[in-house]
Amino acid sequence: MTKMMALRDAYGQALAELGKTNKDIVVLEADLGGATKSVLFGKEFPERYFNVGIAEGNMVAMSAGFASTRLIPYVNTFASFLTTRAADPVNCLIAYSNYNVKLAGAYAGLSDSYDGASHHAISDLAFVRSLPNMNVICVADPIETREATKFIATLDAPVYLRLSRTAVPYIYDEDYKFEFGKGVTMREGSDVAIIATGYMVYKALQAAEKLAKEGIYARVVNIHTLKPIDKDLLIKCANETGLIVTVEEHNVFGGLGSAVLEAIAKDAPVPVDIIGVDDKFAESGDYEDLLEKYGLGVNNIVTRTKKAMSLKK
Does residue 50 surpass a pLDDT of 80?
A: yes
- Residue 289: pLDDT band by 50, 70, 90 thresholds? very high
- Residue 1: pLDDT band by 50, 70, 90 thresholds? low
| pLDDT tens sequence across 222-277 | 999 999 999 999 999 999 999 999 999 999 999 999 999 999 999 999 999 999 99
What are the residues whose beta carbons fall under 8 Å from the beta carbon of 30, sequence distance 6 or more? 51, 52, 53, 54, 55, 56, 59, 76, 77, 81
What does the pLDDT average to over 170-190? 97
For residue 141, the model assigns a pLDDT of: 97
What does the pLDDT average to over 35-40? 96
Residue 43 zone, left/alpha/beta (φ > 0; ψ -120 to 50; rest):
alpha
Does residue 51 surpass a pLDDT of 80?
A: yes
For residue 312, the model assigns a pLDDT of: 85
What does the pLDDT average to over 146-152? 98
Question: Which domains, from first to last, does the chain contain?
Answer: 4-169 (3.40.50.970), 184-308 (3.40.50.920)
Which string of DSSP letters, residue by residue, matches 214-239? Answer: TT--EEEEE--EEES--HHHHHHHHH
Please return the burial class of 188, using the count of CB atoms within 10 Å of its CB with bins 0-12, 13-18 and 19+.
Answer: exposed
For residue 169, the model assigns a pLDDT of: 96
What does the pLDDT average to over 121-130? 98
Q: Are 229 and 184 in contact (CB under 8 A)?
A: no
Q: How far apart are CA 62 and CA 286, in angstroms?
A: 35
- Residue 33: pLDDT band by 50, 70, 90 thresholds? very high
Does residue 26 surpass a pLDDT of 70?
A: yes
From the candidates 29, 56, 144, 248, which is the catalytic residue?
56
pTM over 0.85: yes
For residue 47, the model assigns a pLDDT of: 97
47 given a catalytic annotation: no
What does the pLDDT average to over 207-214? 98
For residue 240, the model assigns a pLDDT of: 98
Does residue 171 surpass a pLDDT of 90?
A: yes
Which string of DSSP letters, residue by residue, matches 143-185? Answer: HHHHHHHHHGGG--S-EEEE--SSEEE--S-TT----TT--EE
Does residue 313 surpass a pLDDT of 90?
A: no
What does the pLDDT average to over 10-28? 97
What does the pLDDT average to over 160-164? 97
